[in-house]
Structure 1
Amino acid sequence: DQIPKSKWEGKTSADLEGSSAEQVWLLLADFCSLHKWFPILPRVTEWMASLANRLLSLDPVQRCLSYEIIESNLGFKSYVAVMQVVPINGGDGSIGCKIEWSYVCDPIEGWGLNDFRSYLDSSLQLMAEKMTEHTLLCTT
């Protein structure tokens, strides 16, 4: 019998083929506008409305940002995440990229770990689709 971990940790990623790392970074780095890309699902509309986030770091060279949830009435006690845009296949990022999203948090009241992982994974996939659509529209 294993003792459960006191923290949840995980990582998900999404490929954005045809979107350059620079294009996607410009969208992601606009932290105050992430709501444009983050899918709002009916189940989580109330959840999203009750969150307050704080940007911890923004590194344009590494195309990386970190943030924390500082206020929530929906079970978040401690949540810190890192999002990074990296080139696909180690290239220069001009033919495609991926967003990597990692997190460390206390267990979230009302969520199971697998449900939370699934939610983040599907959210990032939808976010990547929206960003890809946007970058393709802006380059045609």
Structure 2
Amino acid sequence: MADYDAEKMWEGAVSAKLTSCRADQIWPLLEDFFNFGKCLPGTIDTCYGIEGISGQPGCIRYCAKTSISDDGSGEMTTIWANEKLLAIDPDRRCLSYSLQENSIGFKSHMATIKLLPLGSQEQEGCEVVWSFTLKPIEGQTIDHIVSLYDSCIQAMAKHIEDALQVKSNE
């Protein structure tokens, strides 16, 4: 692949604007590190803590997705990752984590999720920014990785807005 260079790190960021949700409404969902799968239903089937206390740096979660293999065999395959919380800042509403062992092929992977207010008033919604740095993956392109992150953040934003809308109507 043209942009594969094992010496260079890939960096990227994706974002989604949530106009009907405030950062203070969304933050509790993100800071619950062991239950991140609730933000990405359909993308993550399983998410739970395997070490430490959720929300405290050093804790590790297991995330997985099981699906039917693309090879036509009908067999179930599971992609998984152990993710370690590196830092969390409730005041700035951001957290950073790294992938440890995983079946995805990511090596030296670190990501940060931040909530940023839209406009000068927090009542005007917020933007979720998900940035990452990782070693290139042979056979992949940075554009493909950015596309994967973008589809995840768009799905997450829609799910969060829908869930918070239902909750406010109860």
Q: TM-score, normalised by structure 2?
A: 0.73
CA contact (8 A) 2:4 2:137 kept: no
1:123 aligns with 2:152: yes
Give the drift of 1:138.
1.6
Identify, as 1 or 2, the structure richer in strand: 2
Distance in 2 separating the partners of 1:123 and 1:65: 17
Give the root-mean-square deviation of aligned CA atoms. Answer: 2.3
Counterparts of residues 25-104 of structure 1 (less than 5 Å) = 25-41=27-43, 45-46=65-66, 49-89=79-119, 91-104=120-133
5+ unaligned residues in a row in structure 2: which ranges? Answer: 45-63, 67-76
Q: 1:3 to 1:34 in 2, by over 3 A?
A: closer
Look at both structures and tell me which one has the larger radius of gyration over its CA atoms: 2
5+ unaligned residues in a row in structure 1: which ranges? Answer: none
Distance in 2 separating the partners of 1:56 and 1:27: 17
Distance in 2 separating the partners of 1:84 and 1:95: 16
Give the drift of 1:61.
0.3
By relative contact order (CA 8 Å, sep 6+), the higher-ranking structure is 1
Distance in 1 separating the partners of 2:131 and 2:78: 19
Paired residues, what number? 137
Q: 1:39 to 1:108 in 2, by over 3 A?
A: farther
Identify, as 1 or 2, the structure richer in helix: 1
Q: Report the identity percentage.
A: 33
One-letter code aligned to 2:17: D
